[in-house]
């Protein structure tokens, strides 16, 4: 039993024993209570590209997927969050629209080093940079030296620098193609491996905390493990699409499955699962990267031209749980990867755990209940998905934010900042 008072967890008691609190949460016979998930990799795109996604639709989708806190990426909105002025614009855009709690990453781009301390003081949860073209004109990549300088600057703040670790130096030219194998060949693992080596060197030299986002190359796992054994402050995430999909199953022209970095082979996927089990990969985040049907070039199936992102916010938990249970992995481990560890990355001490004093944010899940992914049921703005028609296991029955059920007609989400770790 879980007792809730004033939006916080007041007490936890064994089944059959009363838990003190103003409210008590009771579950159905086939339901389990998970901490509300924390998704630290979401592209909301508002302001500026609300035809792609927006705060209202993204947070409704999150709530339907058991996610009670999300962290917005600094690019794909206009302007990108590389200054306090841009952060305030984004906060104003979010105000009154959010159905879950929302935090923000700041951006590191060439020339904005003087903005980093003000952005930190203004409440961003950490920072993000790219080592390759981001696709956004106002979010250019940094060099390895600029990344190291940013890590040095951020070290006293104790916040992570999230790095899109693909290297322009090793990338091949992608020509128009509807053949998935051609796209995959143009984005080989070496692109990631080289960039991850640069991240490791920069973290070691600076003493700063580097976090590798959306890891897809299993080749990099020994490098990451060795760097951590040597004392580097290095963490890493992967995504549901790398854990669920595999290259062998992606049909030619199936551009909804295009991601950057790409979904790789089945053998690579199994090694990513081993990386999670061993702790080399810390967490799972959606990298919800929405795009219109036109941006996905559904008419031509051209992987070179299509937007490199997958929308999965609402079904990130069922995707991960379906694949995890098939490998004998427990729901408790999945909750760690999708709630506790992301909360720790973002410095949100009251999130991601069911413990006294934490926010009463919960996901009520029927873990054995299957459902078929239906575009019509997805609430994010653009229902372009590689999962349509797939049967997943694990139905989210409800989400609770600070002890109350989320309600599509009553947005109650708050803007969050870092708390004591």
Query: Tell me: the pLDDT tens digits for 210-219?
Result: 999 999 999 9
Give the pLDDT confidence score for residue 26 in this predicted structure: 76
pLDDT the model gives residue 170 = 53
* 271 vs 277: CA distance, rounded Å: 10
| Span 77-97, average pLDDT | 98
CB atoms near residue 12 (< 10 Å): 14
CB 112 within 8 A of CB 142: no
Q: What's residue 418's pLDDT?
A: 83
Based on the structure, what is the number of domains in the chain?
Answer: 1
What CATH number has the domain bearing residue 350?
3.20.20.140
Q: Give per-residue pLDDT as tens, 291-317.
A: 999 999 999 999 999 999 999 999 999
- Are 391 and 348 a contacting pair, CB within 8 Å? no
Instruction: List, as own/partner pairs, every contact residues 308-311 make where C-beta atoms lie below 8 angstroms and the sequence separation is at least 24, other chains included.
Output: 308/135, 308/258, 308/259, 308/260, 308/262, 309/43, 309/258, 309/259, 309/260, 310/239, 310/241, 310/256, 310/257, 310/258, 310/259, 310/385, 310/386, 311/53, 311/378, 311/380, 311/382, 311/383, 311/384, 311/385
Distance separating alpha carbons of residues 322 and 312, to the nearest angstrom? 14
Task: State the sign of the Cα–Cα–Cα–Cα dihedral 203, 235, 214, 153.
Answer: negative
Residue 402 lies in a domain: no
Going from the C-alpha of 360 to that of each of 21, 63, 283, 419, the distances in angstroms are 12, 14, 21, 16
The verdict on residue 29 lying in a domain is no
The confidence score (pLDDT) of residue 162 equals 98
CA atoms of 98 and 262, how far apart (whole Å): 31
Does the residue 407 lie in any domain? no
In a domain, 280, yes or no: yes
The Cα 76–Cα 68 span in angstroms is: 22
- What are the tokens at 394? 């694990």
Is residue 38 classed as helix, strand or coil in its secondary structure?
strand
Mean pLDDT of the chain: 95
Q: Tell me whether residue 365 is in a domain.
A: no
DSSP state of 91: H
Q: Is 374 part of any domain?
A: no
pTM, entire model: 0.96
Q: Is 24 inside a domain boundary?
A: no
Residues spanned by the domain of 193: 36-358
Closest CA to 1 of 29, 26, 32, 34: 26
Length of the chain: 421
Output DSSP code: residue 267.
H
Whether the per-residue pLDDT at 375 is higher than 90: the answer is: no
Q: Check whether 174 has a pLDDT greater than 70.
A: no
Task: Give tens-digit pLDDT for 243-296.
Answer: 999 999 999 999 999 999 999 999 999 999 999 999 999 999 999 999 999 999
| Strand spans (E) along 90-246 | 101-104, 106-107, 127-130, 161-164, 210-212, 234-238
Q: Is the pLDDT of residue 395 over 70?
A: yes
- How far apart, in Å, are the Cα atoms of 382 and each of 52, 53, 262? 6, 7, 20
The pLDDT score that the predictor gives to residue 421 is 41
Residues 241, 257: contact at Cβ < 8 Å? yes
């Amino acid at each position: 039993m879980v007792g809730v008072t004033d939006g916080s967890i007041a007490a936890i008691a064994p089944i059959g024993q009363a838990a003190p609190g103003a409210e008590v949460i009771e579950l159905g016979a086939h339901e389990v209570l998970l901490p509300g998930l924390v998704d630290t990799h979401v592209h909301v795109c508002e302001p500026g590209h609300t035809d792609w996604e927006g705060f209202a639709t993204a947070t409704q989708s999150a709530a339907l997927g058991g996610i009670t806190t999300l962290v917005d990426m600094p690019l794909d909105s206009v302007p990108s969050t590389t200054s306090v002025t841009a952060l305030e614009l984004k906060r104003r855009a979010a105000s009154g629209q959010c159905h879950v709690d929302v935090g923000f990453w700041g951006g590191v781009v060439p020339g904005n080093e003087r903005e980093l301390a003000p952005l930190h003081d203004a409440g961003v949860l950490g920072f993000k940079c790219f080592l390759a073209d981001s696709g956004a004109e106002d979010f250019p990549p940094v060099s390895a030296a600029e990344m190291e300088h940013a890590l040095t600057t951020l070290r006293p703040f104790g916040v992570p620098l999230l790095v899109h670790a693909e290297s322009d130096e090793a990338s091949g030219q992608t020509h128009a193609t509807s053949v998935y194998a051609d796209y995959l060949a143009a984005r080989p693992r070496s692109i990631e491996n080289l960039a991850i080596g640069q991240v490791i060197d920069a973290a070691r030299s600076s003493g700063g905390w580097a976090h590798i986002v959306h890891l897809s190359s299993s080749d990099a796992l020994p490098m990451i493990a060795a760097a951590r054994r040597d004392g580097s402050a290095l963490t890493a995430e992967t995504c549901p699409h790398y854990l669920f999909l595999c290259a062998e199953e992606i049909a030619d022209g199936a551009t909804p499955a295009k991601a950057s970095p790409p979904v790789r082979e089945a053998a690579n996927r199994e090694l990513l699962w081993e990386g999670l089990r061993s702790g080399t990969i810390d967490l799972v985040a959606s990298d919800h990267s929405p795009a219109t049907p036109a941006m996905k070039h559904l008419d031509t199936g051209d992987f070179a031209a299509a937007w490199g992102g997958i929308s999965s916010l609402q079904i990130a938990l069922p995707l991960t749980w379906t694949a995890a249970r098939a490998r004998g992995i427990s729901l408790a481990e999945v909750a760690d990867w999708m709630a506790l560890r992301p909360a720790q990355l973002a410095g949100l001490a009251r999130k991601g755990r069911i413990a006294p004093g934490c926010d009463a944010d919960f996901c009520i899940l029927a873990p054995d209940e299957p459902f078929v992914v239906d575009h019509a049921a997805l609430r994010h703005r653009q229902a372009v998905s590689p999962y349509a028609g797939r049967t997943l296991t694990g139905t989210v029955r409800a989400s609770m934010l600070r002890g109350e059920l989320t309600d599509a007609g009553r947005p109650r989400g708050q803007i969050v900042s870092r708390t004591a770790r």
